[in-house]
Amino acid sequence: MSEEALVAVELRKQYTTRGSPPIDALRGVSLRIAKGERVALLGRNGAGKTTFLRIASTLLVPSSGSVHVFGHDAIADPDSVRPLLAVVPQEGKPFFHLTPREQVYSYLRARGFARESARAQSESALEQMGLLEVADRLSITLSGGQRQRTMVATVIATEAPIMFLDEPTIGMDPFARREVWASLRRLTQRGSTILLTTHYLDEAENLAQRLSIIERGRVLVEGSGEELKRRAGGTLRVSIVGGARLGPELESFGTVVPDGEAVHVITSPEQVQELLGLTLRAKLPTTVGPVTLEEAFLRVVGRSIDSEG
């Protein structure tokens, strides 16, 4: 098997619906993922993330471009790709008339697992997802988060070489989200590859080694969280109470984000000292902290929206 888990080149997808203008959901997206990597696709609603995932997982055919999964052509030869992957679809639901235990077990059996290993793998996945207590209740009686955990349990139980997870932790409590992160990390340590989408930027930062921001069907930025923050103008945030009255003077230190009478400056470690000197002389209470990935995302995507609009 190829050491590159996924190679997508110049993927384009135009949706055509009768009676409405065509929609260019992907406008030339390329992405390479090495075996064992965890990569997150980020982007605003409608950016094209689900479209990309559906194409990469053989559920949708692109208008043009190519996708290879472990060296197999996902478009010309989807049958050889499907056994290598498992998918948590966006807004997927477990079968309501099955219990989580039946759901996970029967999915593994359908994928060709022998009885014994299907049982062992499903028990382990149910335990990892904290589902043992509800494992024998019909899914229709489960809470929203418990249903979502069942969807994730079904996929992690496969230990498939590559897993596509579209907003896997939506509706989960903060404990459950961390259980998912730990399980996905364990899987990649054992050689699986993960591509996920999420709107939780803390999740992307905690879990993914590499991020790719999609905006209007194109890759806007790709790299680690730290690289993304540098692109946003710095890795530190200096918050100045009453900083609005310092005016344009602040702009030489980095990106200025107004917040009522307060001001946040996204800046670099090299410039922090001089900026603190300024706010000290002005007697303005100031705090320094790391920029969050969410702030960097808002800056980078926001700039792109401004320049297009």
Residues in contact with ligand ATP by the rule CB under 6 A:
15, 17, 23, 25, 43, 45-51, 90
CB nearer ligand ATP, residue 25 or residue 275: 25
CB nearer ligand ATP, residue 113 or residue 200: 200
Question: Could you tell me the smallest distance in angstroms from the CB atom of residue 40 to Mg ion?
Answer: 13
Question: Could you tell me the smallest distance in angstroms from the CB atom of residue 94 to ligand ATP?
Answer: 20
CB nearer ligand ATP, residue 45 or residue 273: 45
Question: Could you tell me the smallest distance in angstroms from the CB atom of residue 177 to ligand ATP?
Answer: 17
Q: Are 148 and 170 in contact (CB under 8 A)?
A: yes
Question: Could you tell me the smallest distance in angstroms from the CB atom of residue 54 to ligand ATP?
Answer: 8
Q: Which of Mg ion, ligand ATP, none lies near 43, with the C-beta cut-off 5 to 8 A by kind?
A: ligand ATP
CB nearer ligand ATP, residue 62 or residue 130: 62
CB nearer ligand ATP, residue 48 or residue 94: 48
Question: Could you tell me the smallest distance in angstroms from the CB atom of residue 143 to ligand ATP?
Answer: 22
Contact set with Mg ion (CB under 5 A): 49-50, 90
Contacts of 127 (CB under 8 A, 6+ apart): none
